[in-house]
Amino acid sequence: MATYRCLASGHTVSFTYTHDIESMKGHAGYIQIDEPEPKQEESRPLPMTAPVAAKKPGRPPKPKEK
């Protein structure tokens, strides 16, 4: 895939077919924008932690009378 930018308006156009990419190389009004390759993230092991007990939702119970 190749992306070209118009020098007059600044609009970008992307092409996937090789025929279209080759024909755009002849146009003086467009320049090809080099897109950086996506970086691959390092895979790190996730630290395993013990589950945290969650509070019960709602109002706390009434104190018991003696």
Helix, strand, coil % in the chain, rounded to nearest 5: 10, 20, 70
Joined tokens for residue 8? 């007059």
State the pLDDT at residue 38.
61
Report how far residue 3's alpha carbon sits from residue 33's, in angstroms, rounded to the nearest whole number. 6
pLDDT per residue of the chain (66 residues) written in tens, 0 to 9: 889 898 899 898 888 888 888 888 888 888 888 765 566 777 778 788 888 888 888 888 888 887
Joined tokens for residue 9? 């308006």
